[in-house]
Amino acid sequence: MAYVGLHLLNHAMGLVSLAAAEAVLAVARAVWHSLPGTVLLYGAASVHIGMAVAALWERRTLRMPCIEAVRLVLGLSLPLLLASHLTAMRWAHEAYGIDGSYLRVVGGLWDTPGAVFQLSMMTAAWTHGCLGLHLALRSRAPWRRAAPALFALALLLPLSAAAGFMAMGREIARMAAPAAPPHGHWEALDAAAERARWAYAAALAALLLARTARGLAGRLAGTPMLTFRYPGRAVPVPRGWSVLEASRAHRIAHLSVCGGRARCSTCRVRVRAAPGTLPAPSAEEARTLARVHAPADVRLACQLRPHADIDVLPLFAPPSTLPPRRFGTEREVAVLFVDLRRWSGLAERQWPFDLVYVLDRYFSLVGEAVRASGGVPNQFIGDSVMAIFGLESGLPAACRAAIDAALRIDAELSAWGDGFASEFGQQLDFGMGLHAGRAAVGEVGYLDTTTLTAVGEVVNTASRLQDHSKVAGARLVLSEFAATQAGLALEGQPRVDLAIRGRTRPLKVCTLGADALAGLRPAPAA
């Protein structure tokens, strides 16, 4: 990936001038043609191809998501595309002493089909590398935050390289043509590239034929068949297959965000099997299961290769009616809960239509305050409102926005409360809870009745903090973590270690009364 990226940057230098590109190329050639550079580059290429061949051989089925198929096809096509490049550059230099300058290479390719081939080769190599990085890291929050900038870089770099290539071609076209190498040398280089392509194509075809022959031989030899019993369906599976491979081979919907590398837990399944018939989890699987606190009967489908019949329940398998966009993503968010106090007493004394008015006004004030601060009011349940912050920003900005929303809500409801007692016979009171952390954000519901929500420990904790505001007599209870992320200075405000149901450790929280909250000012955005 480093070699391809630097190669594209070198081409892009052609936008400055041919001389600038040649100067950078001289440095790059000295690095990659040195002994350490040669070992690093061709060693990495050999390991890369070896791992791709091993992964293809180990696959029991070639059914896979489209993005994985594109990455695999691009990766397997790279040696075919690179054969002519390596012979025309490295071998030409080593065997015949032919200069590998841009003047010769671009001048030779300019205004020929070779220019299109060169640009296609660069695009294929770069796309393969970018897809590999994305599939490996897309479940990590820092990668998702940087994704827009990284996508812009991934798009602009090959475009800049193509523009630099064309700029150098036009500059060379205005110059005298460089002396071409002896005709026999070109024929030898072309023949070597052709032999390399045919040899690789033959090896790849042999690998695919060997996979087919392995499956046929297994069926003829009577490979032991297992039965995987999914909900409502039992499928025969050759022994040695993983649960995820079985699901894909039999077209059973089975989610797998990381592509079967134990880098996420979305393919997890609940398994029932006879004692002693399941292999122990690998180190990678055990680490992932421990991170999500999975119970003993939950395994990763991409890693589990049973030795006997099993019952399988995919825990995250989406139903056929669920659009892919609804499953959601994991993000770092701030969650704010707002709740009206003494609602039951109010409901007992007021007419139902008056209660509808109160709720409608309450939801409007809270919803407008949340939206004005950049949040999403996503759930209105009874007399409670849940709001999410950070869907389009980082966690510090999300926490600042949530604090700002709490201040707006406090001001709006306090102003409404001035005349509330005379209208409804009791004081308007409310409490809020705020916490921040990682949550799964997506749409939930049934068929067309869905809503955006967040699910995870951060949501449960924020709800518990709102409940604690009743006990503490506070207007806002927020976690110290959320306050720190927002840059709040809360010296002199009470802090307690609060035991929260569902959490193994107490959480340090800050309790703010109405006066303290009214005087609070969040830190400005950086």
Contact indicator for 430, 366 with CB cutoff of 8 Å: no
Strand order in the sheet with 233-238: 233-238, 225-230, 310-314, 268-273, 298-300
In a domain, 301, yes or no: yes
pLDDT in tens, the chain (526 residues): 888 899 899 999 999 998 999 999 889 888 888 899 889 988 988 888 888 888 778 777 777 777 777 888 888 887 877 776 776 666 666 666 666 677 877 776 766 676 777 777 788 888 888 988 887 787 676 887 888 899 999 999 999 998 998 898 888 888 765 545 555 566 777 777 788 888 888 988 898 888 888 777 766 766 678 899 998 889 988 888 889 888 888 888 888 777 677 777 788 889 998 888 888 988 888 988 887 788 888 999 888 999 889 999 888 745 443 444 444 567 889 999 998 876 555 555 555 555 666 777 888 888 889 988 888 888 777 678 899 998 878 888 999 999 999 999 988 888 877 766 566 556 677 889 999 988 878 766 666 666 777 788 888 899 899 888 888 888 888 998 988 888 887 777 778 888 888 777 888 888 888 777 766 655 444 3
The crossing angle, in degrees rounded to 10, of helices 18-32 and 102-109 is 110
Contact indicator for 457, 435 with CB cutoff of 8 Å: no
* Phi and psi based region of residue 97 (left: phi greater than 0; alpha: psi -120 to 50; beta: remaining): left
Same domain, 124 and 252: no
- Alpha-carbon span 174 to 331, nearest angstrom: 54
CATH code of residue 273: 3.10.20.30
Structure confidence at residue 526 (pLDDT) = 39
Q: Which residues pair with 435 in a beta bridge?
A: 335
Contact indicator for 80, 195 with CB cutoff of 8 Å: no
Count of domains for the chain: 3
Structure confidence at residue 191 (pLDDT) = 77
CATH code of residue 495: 3.30.70.1230
In a domain, 526, yes or no: no
DSSP H stretches of helix in 102-140: 102-109, 113-137
Last-in-domain residue among 201, 217, 233: 217
Instruction: Please classify residue 216 by burial: count the beta carbons closer than 10 Å to its beta carbon, then call 0-12 exposed, 13-18 middle and 19+ buried.
Output: exposed
Same domain, 252 and 303: yes
Same domain, 298 and 350: no
Q: Is the dihedral of CA 513, 514, 519, 520 positive or negative?
A: positive
DSSP H stretches of helix in 221-263: 243-249
Last-in-domain residue among 149, 183, 217: 217
Structure confidence at residue 148 (pLDDT) = 87
Same domain, 434 and 483: yes
In a domain, 524, yes or no: no
Q: Is the dihedral of CA 74, 75, 79, 84 positive or negative?
A: positive
Structure confidence at residue 324 (pLDDT) = 42
- Alpha-carbon span 11 to 390, nearest angstrom: 39
In a domain, 375, yes or no: yes
Same domain, 330 and 291: no
Last-in-domain residue among 281, 314, 347: 314
In a domain, 525, yes or no: no
Same domain, 271 and 383: no
Residue from 476, 330, 308, 505 nearest 408 by CA: 476
Same domain, 390 and 499: yes
In a domain, 249, yes or no: yes
Same domain, 254 and 347: no
Same domain, 231 and 343: no
Same domain, 251 and 347: no
In a domain, 439, yes or no: yes
Q: How many CA atoms lie within 13 A of 210 on its CB side?
A: 12
How long a stretch of residues is the chain? 526
Structure confidence at residue 121 (pLDDT) = 79
- Alpha-carbon span 407 to 18, nearest angstrom: 59
Q: Do the bridges between strand 268-273 and strand 233-238 make them parallel or antiparallel, or are there none, so unpaired?
A: unpaired
Provide the domain limits for residue 370.
Answer: 325-518
Same domain, 229 and 85: no
Contact indicator for 133, 147 with CB cutoff of 8 Å: no
In a domain, 475, yes or no: yes
Structure confidence at residue 187 (pLDDT) = 72
**DSSP secondary structure code for residue 89 in this structure:** I
- Alpha-carbon span 118 to 201, nearest angstrom: 19
Helix (H, G, I), strand (E, B) or coil at 276: coil
Contact indicator for 409, 338 with CB cutoff of 8 Å: yes
Same domain, 77 and 46: yes
- Return all residues near 110 (Cβ < 8 A) that are at least 6 apart: 169, 172, 173
